[in-house]
Amino acid sequence: MSKNSPKNLDEIVTEIVETDLLIIGGGNAGCFAAIEAKKVSPGLRVAVMEKAHISRSGATAAGMDAINTYIPEGKTPEDLVRWSRSQVGGGPIREDLALSNAQELNGAVDDLASWGLPIIRGEDGQPEYRGKWDISIHGEQLKPIMAEKAIESGADIYNRVAATNLLMHGDRCVGAMGFGVRDGKFYVFRAKAVIVSTGGACGLYKSYTSDATSSHHQTWMCPFNVGTGYSIGIRQGAEMTSLEQRWVATRTKDHCGPVDTISVGYQSSVINAHGERVLQKHYAHLGGDKAPRYIRANAPMEEWLAGRGPTYADTTNLTPEEAKELKTDYLNERPSFVLFLASRAQDITKEPIEIYGSDPYVVGGHCQSGYWVTIDRMTTVPGLFAAGESAGGTPNKFVGGCAAEGKLAARGAVAYVASVKLPALDEAQVAKEKERVFEPLLRGPEFDGVSPLEMEERMQRLMDEYAGGITQFYRTNEERLDYALKHLKMLRSQVQYLYAKDLHDLMSAHEVIDRLDMAEALAHHLKFRKETRWPGWQTRSDYPEIDPKLDCFVESRLNKETGEIEMFTRPYEQIVPGDRCQP
């Protein structure tokens, strides 16, 4: 127990902040939301609640080497939606949302350029495309640049305050609560509208490097984004869409860094142990190197399963200059990969880069899992909006699309703010949450309980083995999911034994609590989709084929009365014409 730890609830200061618009998560989407809200409504009070420090938080903390989507001259937003749809096997996707995002996309990227982000340009001054839609950047400073603009906008930034629950007025969201991970205060934000932009959920599953290494967070997705933004909505009965469409990606082996840099940026092929070009040989009928993302993502693991691993991204055709450029790209995005190569003394022009699958993530800016939202990005909870990885329905958002959606959600929320009044503060609700939040810290040094890490590791192995993690080659079935659900319930009942030795540990305790809620909802989604629509992302070994009846959205909602998650479907609506599987 740290010497600064409080002994009882009364010692803990409650800080009440009144604002018009609260943004939870000052990442990529959150910064853009704050800037846009202040731009369209300068007099509006905007507060940002950020668990880390906005200058280096979330997915873009280390930087970026590309903006994966920027519509080139001669192409239209409809073209982008067509491509995006084909990447997820024809969907279903929310084409209304995807279109509005695409229409906003280039403007958001142009904002970044005008703020000083170096975009690599050709002699004609136009951005250099490394693939069909993605442009290269030297984005080491991407996050500091967005943060500076958010601060400049006049929004009030609350760094190191982690959200733990929404503040509700009946069914309406009127703010959020959380605690200062450094100052130990309990924070209550009262707001007319709230945007949740906490990124995706990492760490629901065990990563394969977490056993027997000193590195538990060797994950592709930012491990500090744990899905709290989803869980706080799930607990209030918000509707979630498509959680079963998990993001599983091909990543550098033993390091779990991005691979698009190599495969898109340098057209390297995936090869197996025998030097065969895997996608051409086994997936030619699905498009070879241009196959949908989940096919490409899953291919290396299928090779391992078939006894044809290891698998590589073949970089042996690169010139030394190209190899250096490739490493420069990594230094802008995931610098430790360059260190990793040096730790193997690897010359990538002679030895190809080994690749493997990642642990599964829920990321609504890549797949389409997340909150079900209206075109204004309002969730099914009035007053609660979502943007970026937190909002569902639109796959392939990435940096530009998350920024664009931040703007859209800000406009939706600003309009909503004008239509509502702030109700009186519900003291009982606040007192209850304060007690829940600090409980693990107040249990005292003699308490015989469970550490956040112990519970996290139990949950991660459970999800890995029973809910389709990487050690199981992403496969699961009805019985395993039932097993996972049973044990998730048991884990939930053990939350009462969690103890935290200090404020950092208290954050970890809440991270595991939030992950349990998220994992449960995810397991229900995986169970409901009795088919295999996106192998790797969603593989049911007991239902290996596509079921045409399930060409729809799978939805969930917590019934607050029974405490049970209820599943249902929503129909798909095609708006952009054309063959759904063709870009």
Partner 1 sequence: MPPRVDKEKCDGCKAQHEPLCEQVCPGDLMVLGESKKAYCRSLRDCWDCMSCTKICPVGAIETRIPYQLGYHVAKLIPMMGTDSITWTCIDINGNVEHFRYKNRVEPE
List contacts with partner 1 (CB under 8 A).
51-53, 55-58, 61-63, 113-118, 138-141, 145, 160, 181-182, 209, 212-219, 222-224, 254-255, 324, 327-328, 331-332, 335-336, 338-345, 504, 507
Contact yes or no for 409/377 (Cβ under 8 A):
yes
Would residue 154 be called left, alpha or beta, if left means φ above 0 and alpha means ψ between -120 and 50 degrees?
left
Please report, as a single letter, which amino acid is at residue 264: V
Which CB atom, from 137 or from 430, has the smaller least distance to partner 1?
137
Contact yes or no for 221/360 (Cβ under 8 A):
no
Residue of closest CB approach to ligand FAD: 27
**What is the nearest approach in angstroms of partner 1 to the Cβ of residue 293?**
23
The residues with which 554 forms a beta bridge, in sequence order, are: 569
Using CB distances below 5 to 8 A depending on partner kind, what does residue 160 bind out of partner 1, ligand FAD, none?
partner 1
- Binders of ligand FAD among residues 250 to 289 (CB under 6 A) are 258
Using CB distances below 5 to 8 A depending on partner kind, what does residue 113 bind out of partner 1, ligand FAD, none?
partner 1
Q: What separation in angstroms does the CA of 130 have from each of 112, 313, 367, 509?
A: 19, 16, 22, 42
Q: How far apart are CA 62 and CA 220, in angstroms?
A: 12
Which CB atom, from 209 or from 242, has the smaller least distance to partner 1?
209
Residues 6+ apart with CB under 8 A from 88: 245, 292, 293, 294, 367, 368, 395, 396, 534
Which CB atom, from 53 or from 235, has the smaller least distance to partner 1?
53
Residue 166 within binding range of ligand FAD, rule CB under 6 A:
no
Q: How far apart are CA 248 and CA 262, in angstroms?
A: 17
Best CA proximity match to 197, nearest among 232, 154, 148 = 232
DSSP track, 91-138 = ----HHHHHHHHHHHHHHHHHHHHTT--B-B-TTSSBPBSSSS-EEEE
Residue 360 within binding range of ligand FAD, rule CB under 6 A:
no
95-114 and 398-417 are packed helices; what angle lies between their axes, rounded to 10 degrees? 100
Q: How far apart are CA 300 and CA 278, in angstroms?
A: 8
Helix (H, G, I), strand (E, B) or coil at 228: helix
Which CB atom, from 184 or from 388, has the smaller least distance to ligand FAD?
388
Strands 240-241 and 311-313 turn out to be unpaired
Residues 6+ apart with CB under 8 A from 271: 277, 278, 311, 312, 313, 314, 352
Residue 57 within binding range of ligand FAD, rule CB under 6 A:
yes
The residues with which 355 forms a beta bridge, in sequence order, are: 252, 311
Using CB distances below 5 to 8 A depending on partner kind, what does residue 180 bind out of ligand FAD, partner 1, none?
none
**What is the nearest approach in angstroms of ligand FAD to the Cβ of residue 321?**
21
Best CA proximity match to 360, nearest among 256, 497, 495, 239 = 256
Among 60, 84, 101, 153, binds ligand FAD (CB under 6 A): 60
Which CB atom, from 228 or from 311, has the smaller least distance to ligand FAD?
228
- Binders of ligand FAD among residues 382 to 441 (CB under 6 A) are 388-389, 398-399, 402
Q: Counting beta carbons within 10 angstroms of the beta carbon of residue 39, is it exposed (0 to 12), middle (13 to 18) or buried (19 or more)? A: middle
Residues 6+ apart with CB under 8 A from 3: none
Q: How many CB atoms lie within 10 A of CB 158?
A: 21
- Binders of ligand FAD among residues 21 to 40 (CB under 6 A) are 24-30
Which CB atom, from 329 or from 520, has the smaller least distance to partner 1?
329
Using CB distances below 5 to 8 A depending on partner kind, what does residue 65 bind out of partner 1, ligand FAD, none?
ligand FAD
Which CB atom, from 68 or from 250, has the smaller least distance to ligand FAD?
68
Among 55, 141, 165, 198, binds ligand FAD (CB under 6 A): 198
Which CB atom, from 336 or from 569, has the smaller least distance to partner 1?
336
Q: What separation in angstroms does the CA of 486 have from each of 468, 469, 490?
A: 16, 17, 6
**What is the nearest approach in angstroms of partner 1 to the Cβ of residue 508?**
9
**What is the nearest approach in angstroms of ligand FAD to the Cβ of residue 150?**
11
**What is the nearest approach in angstroms of ligand FAD to the Cβ of residue 51?**
4
Residue burial 326-364, b: 16+ Cβ < 10 Å; e: rest: bbebbbbbbeebbebbeeeeeebbeebbbbbbbbbbbbb
- Binders of ligand FAD among residues 293 to 322 (CB under 6 A) are none
Strands 270-271 and 311-313 turn out to be antiparallel
Which CB atom, from 84 or from 476, has the smaller least distance to ligand FAD?
84
Using CB distances below 5 to 8 A depending on partner kind, what does residue 388 bind out of partner 1, ligand FAD, none?
ligand FAD
- Binders of ligand FAD among residues 207 to 236 (CB under 6 A) are 220-222, 224-225, 228
Among 34, 44, 64, 491, binds ligand FAD (CB under 6 A): 64
Among 23, 155, 162, 506, binds ligand FAD (CB under 6 A): 162
Q: What separation in angstroms does the CA of 2 have from each of 184, 404, 447, 460, 565?
A: 12, 42, 15, 28, 38
Which CB atom, from 217 or from 461, has the smaller least distance to partner 1?
217
Binding string, residues 326-345; x marks residues near ligand FAD by CB under 6 A: -------xx-----------
Which CB atom, from 56 or from 432, has the smaller least distance to partner 1?
56
Which CB atom, from 138 or from 411, has the smaller least distance to partner 1?
138
Query: How is residue 155 annotated by DSSP?
Result: P
Contact yes or no for 552/569 (Cβ under 8 A):
yes
| Consecutive H or E run containing 434 | helix 427-442
**What is the nearest approach in angstroms of partner 1 to the Cβ of residue 446?**
23
**What is the nearest approach in angstroms of partner 1 to the Cβ of residue 214?**
4
Binding string, residues 503-532; x marks residues near ligand FAD by CB under 6 A: ------------------------------
Footprint of ligand FAD (CB under 6 A): 24-30, 49-52, 57-60, 64-68, 162-163, 197-199, 220-222, 224-225, 228, 258, 333-334, 365, 388-389, 398-399, 402
